[in-house]
Amino acid sequence: MANQRTEVEDIKERSNYLRGTLTESLQNEITGALHPDDDNLIRLHGSYRQADRDLESERKRQKLEPLHSFMIRVRLAGGVSTPRQWLVMDDLADRYANQTLKLTTRQAFQLHGVLKRNLKATIKTFNDALMDSFAACGDVVRNVMCNPNPHESNVHEQVLAVTRQIHEHFTPKTPAYHEIWLDDELVGGAQEEEIPLPTASPFVKGANNEEVEPIYGKTYLPRKFKIALAIPPYNDSDVFANDIGLIAIEEGGELVGFNVAAGGGFGTTFGMLETYPRLADVLGFATTAQILDVVEKIVLIQRDNGDRTNRKQARLKYTIDRMGLENFTAELRKRLGYALAEAKPYKFIANGDVYGWKQNTQGSAEGLWNLTLFVEGGRVRNTNSLKLKTALREIATALVAYNEAHPEAVQSDFRLTGNQNLMICGISSAMKALVNATFARYNIPVEEHTLKQATTALRRNSLACVALNSCALAFAEAERYLPSLIDKLDVVIRESGLQDDAIVIRMTGCPNGCARPYLGEIGFIGRAPGRYNLYLGAGFAGDRLNKLYKEMLNEEEILAELTPIIRRYARYRAIGERFGDFVINAGYVKATKHGKDFHA
């Protein structure tokens, strides 16, 4: 008997283009949860139902249902946000969420702890500021990433324009989002300074005036689909971790096109060797004029050939490995009507962020300043010792006023990076002094030399997913634990003289890979509370997966394993040798040459 498609496929098909019974579920005051089918559908609207797992045992003891709440993910093409939009998100975090903002590894905002009764008001509010959560989750093309600073050069500006074009093209066309959350309002109210990101797509009608999704169809994609663009030499969006990675190629200071890579993806399942992380393969080169057509055809191949019977095998990476790369490329050539050109030379040197102030030297923003700010774990919040949320609110308020007073000038903005950090861009020299003074008042290091004094390069190159207490999939802590683990690793790092030597370290609470742990030179994946698998050997530029080194380690065992390796690296590394290369050359792990080789 042939495999039947999954229940999720049936839910999507009978949802009437993502409407389902969401309206009824939202109106049900008896429970803080949704109808089970709507739990799946709301993901395509950019939200997941979660529960506070710290309270789970006590609520069970009191015979109460879990304390249901919702995570909402707000899309930002290329991570670009205006200061006014930042203030809207800051206010929503306090009014309806848990008083914090999460900057994600896909350049999006996340709000956590939103109660069901506040979902509609929250979504309506950020939509009024020209932001949306539509297609931020679920089986669609998700937030499109790119280098976060378009002011750096003409090429950067052109790459952001392509990013926005892709973002808009793959936004679902159903009016369901606007019917359910916005009472049929197509777009929110715009402020003069707002960046014109698409918050809605025109409704599409078929031959008989019925609704259609011209790209997705009734069942959308078999699984989530991720796209990222990068500009060598920095791979700060981790292009090879995406279903499609586009590597910008410039000639004479102008963007001529992209090397096209396909088949990246990181979700795995413990104990299932047929699941594995995979880096995208470079297929060839396409011109800027061709690129949207190429991306669409790859998405359509996945729509038509992805596995809809097994969600654990449904990503594009498995479609390519099942078809074979040569057959996949031939199918792409058939659908395009032409072959991609030979890939052009490029070189990546790192996948982290470069911190501190940098002045633009060309383009429309020449002379203006950009600040890259380290945000540990991507969590913007106030603590007793760090008032980061307050500082950024004050800066955003000042920038709104400055932009309004200088409408003819390049507008200052906020940009989320793919490494959970924040850029404040388009800053005049006068405003730079104000920004510095604000951060100094709250003892937040921003200048390169003060940041180096306060943190090691290991910490500055760390990523962590949310994990416990809110993620239902997490087996262990990540965001809440990694900083304290780094505190302990920093002791041997400083003793070894490596405080200024970047080592990419990443941690997730489960193997789904939201913080891209398989690209950590040191990677941790939670197996149980306080227990982690340790992976070593990824490429510093995000171009090689790591390999499992030891399983089920507690903190004491992690420190016992890593301390001698770090010390040996400091003493015996070759000139310019990165930690991920060293652990392979020294024989700790073998290099992972392909995703199917990951478990070998």
Active-site amino acid positions: 73, 142, 224, 226, 465, 471, 510, 514
Q: Which residue has the tokens 């999507």?
A: 12
Are 555 and 531 spatial neighbours (Cβ–Cβ below 8 Å)? no
Two tokens, residue 474:
């997490």
Phi, psi torsion values for 204, nearest 5 degrees:
-115, 130
Are 420 and 105 spatial neighbours (Cβ–Cβ below 8 Å)? yes
Two tokens, residue 547:
């390999």
**Measured CA distances, 462 to 237, 455, 503, 517, 522 (Å):** 14, 11, 8, 10, 10
Residue 426 falls in which region: left (phi positive, over 0), alpha (psi -120 to 50) or beta: left
Who's near 97: CB < 8 A, 6+ residues apart?
A: 111, 112, 113, 114, 122
Secondary element (H or E) of residue 416? strand 413-416
Phi, psi torsion values for 169, nearest 5 degrees:
-60, -35
Output the DSSP codes for 198-252.
-S-----B-TTS-B--TTT-TT--SS-B-EEEEBTTB-TT-GGGSSEEEEEEEET
Two tokens, residue 534:
């340790």
CB atoms within 10 A of CB 329: 18
Closest to 90 (Cα-Cα) out of 392, 318, 303, 331: 392
Q: What is the DSSP letter of 130?
A: T
Are 236 and 351 spatial neighbours (Cβ–Cβ below 8 Å)? yes
CB atoms within 10 A of CB 361: 10
Residue 342 falls in which region: left (phi positive, over 0), alpha (psi -120 to 50) or beta: beta
CB atoms within 10 A of CB 293: 14
Count the residues in the chain: 600
Q: Which residue has the tokens 């003891």?
A: 61
CB atoms within 10 A of CB 326: 8
Calpha distance 495→488 (Å, rounded): 12
Calpha distance 543→458 (Å, rounded): 19
Closest to 504 (Cα-Cα) out of 535, 473, 538: 538
